[in-house]
Every structure is written in structure tokens, then in C-alpha cells.
Amino acid sequence: MTYNTQQMKDAIVAKLRLNYGCTQQQASDGEMMKACAMVLRDIMAEHGVQSREKAAREGKRKVHYLSLEFLMGRSLMKNAYNLGVIEPLKEAIQELGFRPADIFDIEPDAGLGNGGLGRLAACYLDSLTTLEIPASGYSICYELGIFRQRIVDGQQVELPDDWKSLGDAWLMPKPQEAEEVHFGGTVRTRWDNGHLMVVHEDYQTVLAIPCDMAIAGFHTDHVNTLRLWDAKSPKPIDMQLFRQGEYLKAGEERAMADVISKILYPEDNHYEGKSLRLKQQYFFVSATVQSITRQHIEVYGTLTNFHEKNVIQINDTHPALVIPELMRILVDDAGLSWDEAWHITTHCVAYTNHTVLAEALECWPQRLFEQLLPRVWQILQEIAHRWQARVEETFHDPAKTAKMAIIWDGGVRMANLCIAGGMAVNGVSALHSDILRHDVFRDACAMEPEKFKNVTNGVDHRRWLSQINPGLHGLICDLTGSDGYLTEPLQLRRLDDFADDSAVLQQLSAIKQSNKRTFAEWARRQQGVKLNPHAIFDVQVKRLHEYKRQLLNVLHIIYLYQQLQDDPDMDMVPHTFLFGAKAAPGYAVAKRIIQLINSLACQIARDPVCRDRLQVVFMENYCVSMAEMLIPASEVSQQISTAGKEASGTGNMKFMMNGALTVGTLDGANVEMHQVLGDENMFLFGLHADEAARLQRTYNPRLLYERDPMLRRVLEMLKTGVNGVSYEDIYQRLLQEDTYLLLADFPAYCAAEQRMVQTYGQSDVWNRMSLHNIARSGIFAADRAVAEYAEQIWHVPYKK
């Protein structure tokens, strides 16, 4: 089904009339956007039906990707691109009297995620579909996604993100496929005809209603679905209470159910044992496993071959309850023996770990399980008991038993549950997977080494290069003679042949310059800042977390500022530092660092000495659609986490693809970037992971402070005040703890920035490095990563 402009126009006009009762003259931009979305949705719905029929006919193994987060961003442009209808769509919008840019711009981001983990899930859906793997994503249909950030008086303020008001155009509710999820109550067992029957009673039911979002692939008719569960009470409002005038009480039980899908938890890399979060996890897991097993039975009539036809990938431990939930369905509902059920479960569930930070590891209080999920709790105890017996038998070592236990000291350790119940455990970069094998999960790895794998992350290069950087896309096509890299990203390597072609290097630089101007214009409209397009655009955008070390970047900027104070006539390449970051609302230190960045931005902006030479900008509300504007305009990518702490990073890959050069530590996927780029094409600095781990044991930041006058002076400024605000709290934190070794890496970081600035002055060298970065970024395509999952973990075929 392809559309020409006229057909597109007709379809849009029909949607406007039928759904909004208006003509194109009367429609608002929002209605126009929704009408366009509905037209594309129809095309995908038709393809979706065919894809499902084909998959059922062929009996292929299906991939189910479970994640509490899918950071989809906008879909109109993406879907039009994948369906090959961008031009007719733009023309239709134009001819109907609208500006295409306005219509694309009005679409809200579907911000159903915090950061890396959620965006990765979104990129993988694109590749799963493009590679024609039968797959579904599953998550919660949060009413409110990641909060909108405003900066008021330099501080973060969180506002609700009501994305559905327009974003629901992509959702297809399927109330007839609703599932019931049970909470609380009591469990009884009784014998029935020689079978032990489990009876769960007096529970509360929450209805899970699927809202499906179709996912189009690139250059294929294959369509997959992202199934988002909406929580609703099955009970009508209590009319008895209502008549008695107890209006609030009458709706109470309904409100308790609704709250489950109300809001995304904005904590990233930080675990909090909140019961609502556990309810969200079980709600989404239970609905999903019921839905998958129901569909399997419809096709095969039995669950005994479930593991042959399904694989369940869990994105970090958040969906770990699939393991006991699948066991519950297999044992209680389908009547399989424990051993049969365990065989099935441990041959279809796979777990990806995304963080090694201790404070991010989920460990739920046992009493929450007992109250909220009594039957699941029983099953968990049995799983834990059998696992413990195996561990004891293997090691005869109480210390190892304690470390590997699933239930320990009143807590349920979800990572250990995933290791016990999964067929594979993988990290997301070479270094991270090594740390899992040799450190975090060392004993489990000794017991079952073949379970532990690595799949280095990748990003959707069609979105993160071709779509957001049309200038660069054009150049790549010209130089390589085709757009073949869109489906074979390793073809980008051919760009290396032009490393000595000064005309090409010039073109590359002109594209960057033009992207910088476009971004500067956008930033002026968006938040009224005036960027100097001749300055280096030096960018750090990501969630705000101490381990990511935005503060190290700040310390270096203060150092530059002080140099300028000392020598106002200093020769300096104009340098603009751009930050974008959301802090978890309860993470006080992260919020203080945001305030510090804003204070510094203010003080520098007010200082005439800095004019046109040094600038700091905090971009408000960093999100997927902002990244799409900013990354093509960036020249320097800051990836400066303490080595060993960033599992992979995916922003680093997006910057590389767009020709930005990395200033970074040997952490996460920077290690693999370094492997393909060499020392000469990036600015590496700082401690290595093993050095950092060793240093942490004896670290004394105060000593470094006392020894280094330059560092001391930088830190003093925090204490005396930035733009009139004292940051003594941060100063003390660095002197007393400095958990993430900022002071240890500070001199090396300054030196790396200096090398970077010097290189920037040699534009030919810089542009050549930039070209090499683009050329070697092909391995960071999500297509490659998903193909590796397909081969090494899922054992499913894919389109080559």
C-alpha cells in the first residue's frame, strides 16, 4: 500500500471530518497532526494483520521485549520515513494549508522512559521490525511520562507531562483483549483427585487494557506492536455510597486501580522500595504473561512447547516477576509439574543487566510480597529454596550461599532471581559484561559460565543519523554512491577513503556549520538564548547523576573562567558548553548541580571578559526531540563517567555518528569506540576501570586538593559562591568523599580538553577525525545489536 499526495490528502481530510467533525480550514495544528497519525496508523494496522497471520502460519519463535520504559519520542516523522511516505505526507500537509514543520513539531514526545534503558528499548523495536523478527514490546501506558522540566531561578521544577492529549493518536485500545490482574487476598491449597489445587481468594482485581502502538520497520511491510497496558478497575462506581452522599468514597476503589498506570517513576539508576512501583511491575508482567500464554494456546493448544515458540527478554530486573508469574500459570493454571514448568521458564527468559551501581539494584522487602502477591511469594520461596540447594551443593561455601541467595535477610534480590530463572544474562558493552562476569556476578558465572554473554548496545542509525541530519545523509549517499548504509551500516566505512580529500572535509564542516546555525535559531526561539555559532559546541546531555560527572565538566569550566579573569587578553578559541539533564525529583545533590550549572551560566553571561569567548548554556527539558536537534549540531561529546560505572552509554554512539568528537574515559562502550578509532581519533583521559576501583579503596581527595593550587582555587570558588550562591555543600562533598574520583581525574581531564581545543584550531585534522568517527560508527547500529541478540540469545532467524 503506497500513497501518492492526492490519496494522502483525501485520507487526511476524511479523518478530520469523521473524527473531529471539521474541514481542513477549521482544523487546528493538533487535529491535523492526529489526522495524519491516524492515516499512517491505518496503513500499519493493515500490515500488522498480515504480519501476524504470516508469523502464525510459519510458526516462528516470537520475541517479547518487556520493559518498564519505552522512550519513543515522536512517531509521525519516524513512521512516515519507515513507510516511505515522507514526501507525499509533507506535500499533502502543505496543500491542505499547513506548514509541515509545525505539524511535526506539535507532536509531543512519548516520554515513557527516563533515559538510556528506555531509549534503547525504542531503538530495538525499530530494528526488530526492520529485521522482520516477529516481536512485541510490552510496557505500561503511563498517563504521565517523564516530567517536563522547567528552570525557575536556576532550579529544576517538575511539571506533569500530559503526552496523551495528542499522543494517543497512535494508540489502538483493545478492550476485548483485557486481562485480569489479582492483588492481595489469601491462598489456600486443597487436594482434588490427587492433584494439589491452589485457591487464591479475596483478592482485588485490576483490569489491564491493552493499548497497541504499531511499529513500522524500514523498507519492509513487516509490522510489530508495542503493547501498553492501561490499568482500570473492573468495578463500577459504588451507587449505594453515592446515594448516601459519599461521593469521594464511592470512587475510591476505582481510583486505587487507576493509579497503577498514572505515572512513570522518574528515578533513574536509583531503587526505592515503593509498593506502587511493585504493583506497576506485577500489573504489567502478569497482564503480559497471560496475554502471551493465551495467544500461544490459541495457536498450539498447549503450553508444553511454549519455550520453543517464545522468548521473553527482560530489560533490567524491573520485569523479573515474569519468572514466578510464568511458573504460576504453568503450574497452577496449566497443571504442569514444577520440573516441566521450570524447564520451560529457564529456556525462554533472558535478562539484560544495565547498571552495576549498588543503589540501583532492586531488592524488595519480603513483607510487600506476602501482602501484595501471596501466591507469587510462595512460588518465589520455592525457586529460592531450590536455587540455594544448588549453590550449596556446588560451592559448600556459606559466604557464596549468602551472596547468591534470592531471598536473604527479609529482602528479595531481583538480579539473583533473574540469574537463576534465565537462560542468558548479558551486559551491554564489553567492559560492562566483563565486570558482571568477574565482579558483580562472579560466583554465578563460575557456576554457569555459558549463561553469561555480551551484546554491546546500538542505536537506531536511521533515526539518529539519516533522519535528524539530512545534510550528512546526503553527503554519505554522494560519497558511497548509494543509500545502502541505511540497511548495511558497516558501509559507512567507505567514508574512510575520503580522509585526504579536502573538498569532502570542507563539505563535512559546512554541514556541521549549517546544523549549528539551525540549532542556534531553534534554541533562541525555544528559550531565548543567543548562541555564538562560531564557538565550539561542547555538549554533555544525559540524565544528571554524580557518576556521569557533569560536575567534572563544571570544574573545568570554572578553571577556564579563572584563566580568563587572570588574563583577559588571553588567546582563546570561542567555547560554548551546552548541558541538558533532568535530575530525579528526590535526588537533592543532582538538583544542586543543575543549580550550579545555571549559576555559572549566569555569572559568565554577565561578565564582559567572557563575551564571545566563553559561554555556558543549560538547555531546559532535555528529551528525545531536543536530542534530535542538538546532536547533529554538536562538535564535542562529553562521555566522562568514572571508569567502570557507565554500563554502555548510547548518547556517545549518536554523537559519533553525527561527527562529534568524544572527550571521554575508557568506560562503557567508549572502550569499543576506542578500539575502532584508536587514540588518534578521540580524546581519552583518566583512570581505567581497574585503577579507579583500586584507588577507591584508599582514596583521599583532600590530599589532592592540598597538593594542587589550581584545583584548590577552582574548588574555592564553589565555597565563596557562583553568581552570588554558595556551593559549600558541593565543595565539602568533593573534599570529604568524592565518591566518583573527580579530583583524581581533574588534571587529565583539563589536559584532554586542551588537546581537543588545539585540534579544533587545525580544521583539516579535526574534520578528518570527524569523518573517521562517522565512518567507523556502523557497528553501533541497533541492527547489529539486535542481530546479535537474535543469534546468540534468542536463536531466531532474521532478515540478512
Name residues contacting ligand 26W, limited to 435-464 (CB under 6 A).
457
Question: Which class for 118: exposed (0-12), middle (13-18), buried (19 or more C-beta within 10 A)?
Answer: buried
Name residues contacting ligand 26W, limited to 511-570 (CB under 6 A).
none
Task: For residues 205 and 286, give the distance between their C-alpha atoms in angstroms, rounded to a whole number.
Answer: 12
The one segment of 135-143, 197-205, 492-500, 641-649 that binds ligand 26W by CB under 6 A: 641-649
- CA 439 from centre of chain: 25
Site string for ligand 26W, 269-308 (x = CB under 6 A): xxx-------------------------------------
548 assigned to active site:
yes
654 assigned to active site:
yes
Rounded CA Rg of the chain: 27
Q: Which of 9, 451, 543, 592 is catalytic?
A: 543
Find the shortest distance in angstroms from Cβ 703 to ligand 26W.
30
Q: Which of 423, 428, 617, 684 binds ligand 26W (CB under 6 A)?
A: 428
Site string for ligand 26W, 28-47 (x = CB under 6 A): --------------------
Q: What proportions of the chain, in percent to the nearest 5, are helix, strand and coil?
A: 55, 15, 30
Asked whether position 646 contacts ligand 26W by CB under 6 A, the answer is yes
Task: For residues 463 and 77, give the distance between their C-alpha atoms in angstroms, rounded to a whole number.
Answer: 9
**Amino acid at residue number 785:** A
The one segment of 165-173, 503-511, 516-524, 640-648 that binds ligand 26W by CB under 6 A: 640-648
Grid coordinates representing 185? 487476598
Asked whether position 374 contacts ligand 26W by CB under 6 A, the answer is no
400 assigned to active site:
no
Question: Are 662 and 683 within 8 A, CB to CB?
Answer: yes
Q: Any residues with CB less than 8 A from the CB of 748 and at least 6 apart, and which? A: 685, 686
Q: How many CA atoms lie within 13 A of 150 on its CB side?
A: 7
> What b/e string do you get for 485-500 counting C-beta neighbours within 10 Å, with b at 16 or more?
bbbebbbbbbbeebee
274 assigned to active site:
no
Task: For residues 794 and 81, give the distance between their C-alpha atoms in angstroms, rounded to a whole number.
Answer: 28
Task: For residues 135 and 531, give the distance between their C-alpha atoms in angstroms, rounded to a whole number.
Answer: 44
Task: For residues 312 and 291, give the distance between their C-alpha atoms in angstroms, rounded to a whole number.
Answer: 13
The one segment of 18-26, 115-123, 447-455, 513-521 that binds ligand 26W by CB under 6 A: 115-123
Find the shortest distance in angstroms from Cβ 354 to ligand 26W.
4
Indicate the residue among 509 and 642 with the shorter CB distance to ligand 26W.
642
Alpha-carbon torsion angle 513, 517, 518, 524, nearest 10: 160
Question: Are 556 and 753 within 8 A, CB to CB?
Answer: yes
Give how far Cα 302 sits from Cα of 195, 296, 307, Å: 19, 8, 11
Helical H runs in 22-115? 29-58, 76-83, 86-95, 100-106
Helical H runs in 422-574? 430-435, 442-447, 461, 470-480, 502-527, 550-566
Find the shortest distance in angstroms from Cβ 622 to ligand 26W.
14
Helical H runs in 158-246? 164-167, 239-243
Indicate the residue among 329 and 415 with the shorter CB distance to ligand 26W.
415
Maximum C-alpha span of the chain:
93
Site string for ligand 26W, 70-109 (x = CB under 6 A): ----------------------------------------
Asked whether position 115 contacts ligand 26W by CB under 6 A, the answer is yes
The one segment of 264-272, 395-403, 594-602, 698-706 that binds ligand 26W by CB under 6 A: 264-272
The one segment of 111-119, 175-183, 213-221, 446-454 that binds ligand 26W by CB under 6 A: 111-119
Find the shortest distance in angstroms from Cβ 419 to ligand 26W.
16
Find the shortest distance in angstroms from Cβ 139 to ligand 26W.
13
Residue with C-alpha cell 492529549? 165
Task: For residues 715 and 730, give the distance between their C-alpha atoms in angstroms, rounded to a whole number.
Answer: 9
Q: Which of 400, 453, 548, 556 is catalytic?
A: 548
Find the shortest distance in angstroms from Cβ 459 to ligand 26W.
10
Question: Are 430 and 454 within 8 A, CB to CB?
Answer: yes
Indicate the residue among 374 and 644 with the shorter CB distance to ligand 26W.
644
Number of amino acids touching ligand 26W (CB under 6 A): 23
Asked whether position 116 contacts ligand 26W by CB under 6 A, the answer is yes
Site string for ligand 26W, 332-371 (x = CB under 6 A): ----------------------xx----x-x---------
Q: Which of 117, 144, 211, 718 binds ligand 26W (CB under 6 A)?
A: 117
Q: Which of 34, 62, 164, 354 is catalytic?
A: 354
Question: Are 163 and 109 within 8 A, CB to CB?
Answer: yes
Q: Which of 307, 542, 556, 784 is catalytic?
A: 542
Indicate the residue among 117 and 465 with the shorter CB distance to ligand 26W.
117
Indicate the residue among 268 and 672 with the shorter CB distance to ligand 26W.
268
Which residues in this chain contact ligand 26W in the complex, by CB under 6 A? 114-117, 120, 267-271, 316, 354-355, 360, 362, 428, 457, 646-650, 668
User: Would you please indicate which residues are annotated as catalytic (active-site) residues?
Assistant: 354, 542-543, 548, 650, 654
